[in-house]
Amino acid sequence: MTSRPAHDTAARLGSWLAAHLAGTGRSVAQVARELGVGEEVVRSWLAGRGSGDGEFARLDTPARLGAWLRARIADSGCTVRELAESTEHVSRVTVYYWLKGEHLPRPPTGDEPDRFDLLLSNPRLGLTLRQRVELDEVRRRLTGTSLNAPPPVADWPDRALPPGDRAFTGRGEELRRLDRLLREHHRGRAVVIAALTGIGGVGKTALAVHWARSRAARSRFAEGCLYVNLNGYAEAPPLGPEQAMARLLEQLGADPETLPAAPEALAARYREGLRGRRLLVVLDNAHAEPQVRPLLPDEPSCLVVVTSRNRLDGLRATHSGITGIALDALTAGEAASLARHLLGLSRGAEEAPVAAFTAACGRLPLAIRIAAANFRTHHARTSSIGEYARVLGGDRLGHLHAGPADPSTSVATVMDWSYRHLTAAAQRTYRLLGLHPGPDASAALAAALTGLDADGLRGPLLELVRANLLAEDAHGRYAFHDLARDHAAALAARTDTADERREAVRRLLDHYVHTAYPAANLLRPSTHELALPLGEPCPGSSPERLAERGAALAWFEAEHAGMSAIAVNQAPGEFDVRVWQAAWALFGFFTAEGRLGEHGGLQRAALAAAERLGAPTAQAHMHRALSWSATRMGRFDDSRTHLLRSLELSLQTGDLVGQAATYNSLAVLDGQQERYAEALDHSRRFLALFETAGNRTGVARGLNVVGWFHAMLGEYDEALVYCERALEACRDLDPRERGVLEPKVWDSLGLVHHRLGDFARARGYYRLTLDRNRELRDRIGEGEALACLGDLHRSSGDPDAAREAWRDALAILTDLGHTAAADVRGKLADLDAESA
């Protein structure tokens, strides 16, 4: 019996399999599961039909593949948008990238969807199974993952390289960058070095090993791979360059007894051993540049991959051709894919518990692996994944360890190894930064926490960034990985005394309050009627001086989350004065930005602090602050309770300005409930009190509010008199206060002229109001002005303009949770009904 050639058998198998798939409608993934093999195997059988010289042979660059796809989409009669919208997991932007020949994805390594394959499978493209398989092979060829590439040496010399990780998933962008590096090396560039850097446990070694064992890398480096663990961050001391050279030479077959002892002679022997050889060299877990430099070959046929928690910036000063690849935590999809694999879950498993599980692990690969092992070993029979995620969230570092016998499987221990290599100043900075609960910190905040000046802090911060214990963004802000923050805070609790930690928090709170209160007055001078007696900041707190409104807004945007968190998290009786002052300062920002629901917890904590202090003025402030959002969110009973208590406290202390501010808030509350007569009475009291107090800003505000409620009662002549007096009073104020108050008066005048039928004048005032509110970034004012413009357009017979203005208003007011959103929504519904 005559045997068939292997390639003929492979081609017949591929043809039969293609016909089977076409006839049954099964997918490659389904067939792979039925046969108990991987998808890669099934695709290799399909690709074995020898189609390399078919219609796609000329698609030898990503740009040519993109051009072919563009033409196919055009022939299909649909647009890129239509194609993307009808393809799950594929966005329009992604398709445009592929059409330009950019960001062509490798086949996924986990159970995440293969977006390229999903696009090819879209029925609108009309591709046959054979075409899809061949185009998939084109993609694989262009990304260095071809199933038809020349096979690597069967007994490829991996030497000391660790085994591959079968659970490896994700890291698509990093793998593409390494593939590009391989192509550059193939084109004859001198020694190319990839530095994979990131926090401990982020998966640097796993990525390096996975890529080193890829088909593309093994095909390129037929003579194999050298690997050495430099122990840069481990329980054992770091490996010296001479020790590392000796181990690498032994992997090349050198007899350790014959290796020279002199460093220069050993280095020469190392260079000689690499000469003319095509080798991949993996230097794992490097500590610093001096440990790595002697190990970098000058042989152009070698390529080097270095992994380190240190950024190794100094290598660029002495070696060209270095590509830095910084690894961050896994994406949400990658983390979920890894967790499902480790937990033995199908892709259809409920997503929320898995997402909570990976979030509790900070999406750090090491943490996910440890948590998954613990769950399967100790918790799977007694709790769900969601319940275990809640347990993890309560004490992440306490749970993220596999056992005392193996310190490498403890997240805290892995981070300890990084910490031990820091200088004393960097260690202290790391610990104290862990006391800050915000998402990130500026250098000024770090200075306040540590009590160091800018010069003294520069070195420790740079050291922490280079060690990948902090990440610095383009705006000069420093952020922890979530688990690193927990680690730093735990170290502070163990290392620094309670007094040292308390003084660090005191400096931070003083920095926040003494920066925020003047900044809040830049945003809304008319909101802060009473200057707070802040006192002097404590030494080392170094408050920032902000001179103009834009800088104040930028500061609050960056700092409000951290400032709120540090104030709320203080134990009762700790820093009560600073807690309520911080809340009052932040109130100016929240009102300016229209953030209705963000500050309730902070204001309640501040009210409790003011009550513990027995400070009636502070309590009155906090009651008014709590009433502000309650009114605008429709909780009118809550608002009135807070305001009546605020009025009572202000009357007790004889605080005229506080009484006036409370009457103003009562007028707004009654106005929201269309109780205009009561609102007018409150606003008259508000005006009279500010006149008695001699507060010019308050008088201008009071005149406008009285005019507004006259208009609400249909008393337009009186309204015009008061509003025009208010506009005149604004001219006597300083530019900042005038800039804030004028749009409120223009809004009132717009309403009056609208009601009087003078649409042109009303439109002019509303436009002025809208433009100024946008300039001030007053989102509530912007939404309300748009709503008024919509009313005006409707009255003047322009329903299309009314619809556009109301839609814009609705988007803003809905986003803010403002009660006025329901009114605007009703007007739009009425307008649509009339059109129908």
Which stretches of the chain score pLDDT less than 50?
Answer: 1-9, 49-53, 527-528, 530
Cross-strand pairs, 401 = 410
Q: In terms of Cα–Cα distance, which of 592, 153, 205, 186 is closest to 369?
A: 205
Q: Pairing relation of β-strands 441-442 and 280-286?
A: unpaired
**How far is it, in rounded angstroms, from Cα 462 to Cα 475?**
15
**How far is it, in rounded angstroms, from Cα 565 to Cα 559?**
10
Q: How far is CA 495 from the centre of its chain?
A: 31
Cβ neighbours, 10 Å, residue 409: 18
Q: Pairing relation of β-strands 322-326 and 441-442?
A: unpaired
Going by the DSSP 8-state scheme, the letter that residue 376 receives in this structure is I
Measured CA distances, 491 to 178, 229, 415, 434 (Å): 36, 28, 11, 8
Burial label for 348, CB within 10 Å (0-12, 13-18, 19+), is exposed
Q: In terms of Cα–Cα distance, which of 64, 136, 131, 134 is closest to 101?
A: 64
**pLDDT at site 50:** 41
Q: Which CATH architecture best describes the domain 172-326?
A: 3-Layer(aba) Sandwich (3.40)
One-letter amino acid identity for 675? R
Query: Phi/psi of residue 410, each to 5°?
Result: -130, 120
pLDDT in tens, 622-649: 999 899 888 888 899 999 999 999 999 9
**How far is it, in rounded angstroms, from Cα 151 to Cα 175?**
20
pLDDT in tens, 467-522: 888 888 888 899 888 788 888 998 999 999 999 999 999 999 999 999 998 888 88
**pLDDT at site 638:** 93
Cβ neighbours, 10 Å, residue 79: 12
Contact 516, 563 (CB under 8 A): yes
Q: How far is CA 810 from the centre of its chain?
A: 27
Measured CA distances, 450 to 44, 376, 428, 436, 547 (Å): 59, 42, 8, 11, 25
Phi-psi region of 757 (alpha: psi -120 to 50; beta: other; left: phi over 0): left
Cβ neighbours, 10 Å, residue 71: 11
Contact 278, 223 (CB under 8 A): yes
Q: Which residue has the tokens 């996975």?
A: 210
**pLDDT at site 8:** 47
Domains in the chain: boundaries:
6-142, 172-326, 332-409, 422-496
Cβ neighbours, 10 Å, residue 550: 11
Q: 521: which 2 tokens?
A: 């007055």
Residue 522 makes CB contacts below 8 A (sequence gap 6+) with 546, 548, 549, 552, 736
Measured CA distances, 311 to 306, 314, 745, 800 (Å): 10, 8, 56, 57
Fold of domain 422-496:
Arc Repressor Mutant, subunit A (1.10.10)
Residue 257 makes CB contacts below 8 A (sequence gap 6+) with none
- H or E stretch at 415: helix 411-420
229 three-state secondary structure: strand
**DSSP secondary structure letters along 112-149:** S--HHHHHHT-GGG---HHHHHHHHHHHHHHTT--SSS
**pLDDT at site 48:** 55
HSE toward the beta carbon, residue 465, CA cutoff 13 A: 16
822 three-state secondary structure: helix
Q: What share of the chain is helix, strand, coil (3-state, %, to 5)?
A: 65, 5, 30
Q: Pairing relation of β-strands 280-286 and 225-229?
A: parallel
Burial label for 799, CB within 10 Å (0-12, 13-18, 19+), is middle
Question: Over 733-802, what HEC string results?
Answer: CCHHHHHHHHHHHHHHHHHHHHHCCCHHHHHHHHHHHHHHHHHHCCHHHHHHHHHHHHHHHHHCCCHHHH
Measured CA distances, 627 to 142, 617, 639, 709 (Å): 62, 16, 4, 20
**How far is it, in rounded angstroms, from Cα 244 to Cα 225?**
15
**How far is it, in rounded angstroms, from Cα 104 to Cα 177?**
11
Contact 580, 622 (CB under 8 A): yes
392 three-state secondary structure: helix
Order the strands of the 441-442 sheet from edge to edge.
441-442, 477-479, 471-472
One-letter amino acid identity for 149? A
**How far is it, in rounded angstroms, from Cα 745 to Cα 703?**
9
- H or E stretch at 676: helix 676-693
Contact 529, 621 (CB under 8 A): no
**pLDDT at site 405:** 54
Contact 709, 717 (CB under 8 A): no
**pLDDT at site 19:** 58
Q: What count of residues does the chain have?
A: 836
Q: Within 55-123, where are the H helices?
A: 62-76, 80-85, 92-99, 115-120
pLDDT in tens, 379-420: 778 888 888 888 888 777 777 776 555 666 678 888 888 888
Q: 253: which 2 tokens?
A: 């077959």
**How far is it, in rounded angstroms, from Cα 65 to Cα 83?**
17
**pLDDT at site 282:** 95
